[in-house]
Amino acid sequence: MIGHGFMGAAHSQGWRVAPRFFDLPVNPEMAVLVGRSSTSTAACAEKWGWSESTTDWRAVLERDDIDIVDIVTPGDTHAEIAIAALAAGKHVLCEKPLANTVAEAEAMTEAAAQAADRGIRSMVGFTYRRVPATTFARDLVALGRLGDIRQVRAEYLQDWLVDEQAPLTWRMKKEQAGSGALGDIGAHAIDLVEYITGQRLRSVSGVIETLVAQRPLLREGQGLTGTAGDEYGDVTVDDLALFTGRLGGGALASFEATRFRTGRKNALRIEVSGSKGALAFDLERMNELEFYDATQPELEQGFRRVLVTEHDHPYLAPWWPTGHMLGYEHGFSNQVHDFVRAIHDGSVPRPSFADGLHVQRVLDAVERSSAAGSIWTPIAG
């Protein structure tokens, strides 16, 4: 795994736990963790269960004992690492968004296509597809329980930047992160809407906004989690993104991605309305799905709460007894299961790099729409 920190901890949990719950055809070995600082990387490797650590990812790609490369670095390094890993014959799991630009994502997708011809697999880490309730929602739509999809609403709401004195980190720098709330969390909302509905966005109209233009720089030597200093730097990404999209089936979808919605910690909300029913999901209640069956008698209609913890629900069979809740980290174990099984079976893992490229094109279209005065902008490709 290349990179560590928040996503490194989450992915490590997935690699460590999946073989102990799922009946995998092969068991992954956590061989080496790569980071910039030898000291902090070694500490994380020991804490999370990696056999060794290094600061040279290029040397790791030359090793014959490495089959999979998991990329959890900032977005500005995704393309270089992923393309090199695929060329070296390594299967690649890359965190979302796939890249910082459409051009980088296109190059990565082309490299993935060429590698696929040699049996090398690649996947993007849109982990919320692996939450049992969202997969169950996808299944209900696919079964026709909602009828024709007419309207979709998606929100990803956080508040960790409400404090204007929160320090400037790489997630607020365009050269490293690519975009702000739009790419960081809006990408999840885009992918999840398309996953649940089975339809892709065709065009968008939106606006992005930077609410706090400058933030205090981190004190020297404090790293990404240090305290704020006395000097300030420019925030070069968006804090808030609002946009409307047209899905392939004709339905309109509204999106909001913000890190300024006071009081909301990690509220990824999806509501899908159709001619025969509707469903609603909220990540802050991730074991539940609200379902409305409009075909029932009028006096019996109403949203009902489905507790998605039965063993016949997606992903639940190897986990806990019915009614015992899953948490955020379980999606990463489910992701490892799907990726390892796809590699073993020779199937195409999803979401693919091509799927990630499509989301990158949506992000780009939203930015171009905002710059042009919120005009409707088609999605390329």
Q: Are 300 and 294 contacting, i.e. CB atoms less than 8 angstroms apart?
A: no
Mean pLDDT per block of 10 residues along the chain (381 residues) reads 96 98 96 97 98 98 98 97 98 97 98 98 98 98 98 98 95 94 97 98 98 89 57 96 98 98 97 98 98 96 98 98 97 98 97 98 98 96 80
Say yes or no: 234 and 294 in one domain. yes
Residue 329 lies in a domain: yes
- Give the tokens for residue 109: 């997708």
Say yes or no: 168 and 208 in one domain. yes
Say yes or no: 314 and 216 in one domain. yes
Q: Are 159 and 261 contacting, i.e. CB atoms less than 8 angstroms apart?
A: yes
Task: Give the containing element (helix H, strand E) for 363.
Answer: helix 353-371
Residue 136 lies in a domain: yes
**C-alpha torsion angle, residues 257, 259, 262, 263 (rounded to 10):** 90
State residue 7's pLDDT score.
96
Q: What are all long-range contacts of 28-34, with beta carbons under 8 Å and residues at least 24 apart?
A: 28/68, 28/336, 28/340, 30/1, 31/65, 31/66, 32/1, 32/60, 32/63, 32/66, 33/1, 33/4, 33/8, 34/1, 34/2, 34/3, 34/60
Say yes or no: 121 and 134 in one domain. no
Domain around 118? 6-127
If 0-12 CB within 10 Å is exposed, 13-18 middle and 19+ buried, where does residue 29 land? middle
Say yes or no: 183 and 122 in one domain. no
Closest by CA position to 140, among listed 244, 295, 253: 295
Instruction: Provide the CATH number for the domain around residue 13.
Output: 3.40.50.720
Residue 57 lies in a domain: yes
Say yes or no: 116 and 137 in one domain. no
Residue at a domain's end among 103, 127, 151: 127
- What angle is formed at CA 301 by the lines to CA 295 and CA 302, rounded to 5 degrees? 125
Q: Are 139 and 316 contacting, i.e. CB atoms less than 8 angstroms apart?
A: no
Residue 333 lies in a domain: yes
Say yes or no: 87 and 215 in one domain. no
Task: Give the containing element (helix H, strand E) for 119.
Answer: none
Q: Are 7 and 95 contacting, i.e. CB atoms less than 8 angstroms apart?
A: yes
Domains: count for the chain? 2
Residues 6+ apart with CB under 8 A from 80: none
Instruction: Provide the CATH number for the domain around residue 332.
Output: 3.30.360.10
State residue 223's pLDDT score.
47
- Give the tokens for residue 156: 């990803």
- Helix (H), strand (E) counts: the chain: 11, 16
Q: Are 279 and 289 contacting, i.e. CB atoms less than 8 angstroms apart?
A: yes
pTM for the model stands at 0.95
Q: Going by DSSP bridges, is the β-strand pair 377-378/304-307 parallel, antiparallel, or unpaired?
A: unpaired
Q: Are 266 and 272 contacting, i.e. CB atoms less than 8 angstroms apart?
A: no
Residue at a domain's end among 95, 127, 159: 127
Residue at a domain's end among 98, 127, 156: 127
Residue 377 lies in a domain: no
Say yes or no: 72 and 28 in one domain. yes
Say yes or no: 136 and 36 in one domain. no
Q: Are 3 and 55 contacting, i.e. CB atoms less than 8 angstroms apart?
A: no
Say yes or no: 108 and 155 in one domain. no
Residue 376 lies in a domain: no
Say yes or no: 29 and 154 in one domain. no
Residue 283 lies in a domain: yes
Task: Give the containing element (helix H, strand E) for 319.
Answer: none
Q: Which conformational region is residue 198 in: left (phi greater than 0), alpha (psi within -120 to 50 degrees), or beta?
A: left
From residue 79, alpha-carbon distances to 112, 331, 359 in Å are: 11, 24, 15
For the sheet with 68-71, list strands across it: 68-71, 91-95, 122-125
State residue 209's pLDDT score.
97
Say yes or no: 147 and 31 in one domain. no
Residue 251 lies in a domain: yes
